[in-house]
Amino acid sequence: MKKLTSILVLSVIYFSCSRGLDSVECDSKNTDEGIIVSSVDFGSCIYNLENKTFIVQDSIGYINLQLEIKNATIGDDSCSFPSIVFNDTTNTLLGQYAQATGCTINFNRNVEVDSTTKQANYIINPEGCGDCEMLGYSYNFVLVEKIDSTYSILFNGEVK
């Protein structure tokens, strides 16, 4: 009888957990659109720079960003910073913290430039999928085509 009760309890737990995953179609891919060239990963370091936005137009700004991240690193410093070439015609680095909860977290990112209004807009739509309460976050660093320094850069429609 104990064996039957144990099997019944384990079955209920299993099906309760898996139901949350199956109830929503979970696509575990981030998407990058617009003028985004690539996403930028700084390794497995954990740092606390919530509610910040980042605009890097040159090598000095990139060095300052690396120092800021290293100074905000929690625990083991396992950051790895890829080499990025900044010049007058290539590359702007943008970043903004975003979070969501779910079993799978996706970040759908898009950077559009409007030459009429002289604005670039970085839109991030975090998407949690499934019934889990796991918090997922990203600083959403992306390398984009060079944005003219005279343009305003908006993050989700707001000047930061």
CA distance 140 to 95: 5
Q: Tell me what the mean pLDDT of segment 135-155 comes to.
A: 93
The CA distance from 130 to 17, in Å, is: 10
Percentage of the chain beyond pLDDT 90 is 44
Instruction: Give the highest mean pLDDT range of 97-101, 117-121, 131-135.
Output: 117-121
Domain borders along the chain are 2-159
Q: What is the token pair recorded at 104? A: 């799978």
pLDDT digits (tens, 9 = 90+) for 61-99: 999 999 998 888 887 667 888 999 888 778 999 999 999
* pLDDT tens, residue by residue, 22-55: 444 666 688 899 999 999 988 777 788 877 899 9
Share the mean pLDDT of the chain.
81
Q: Record the pTM.
A: 0.78
What is the predicted pLDDT for the residue at 12?
34
Q: What pLDDT does residue 25 have?
A: 62
Tokens of 116: 């009429």
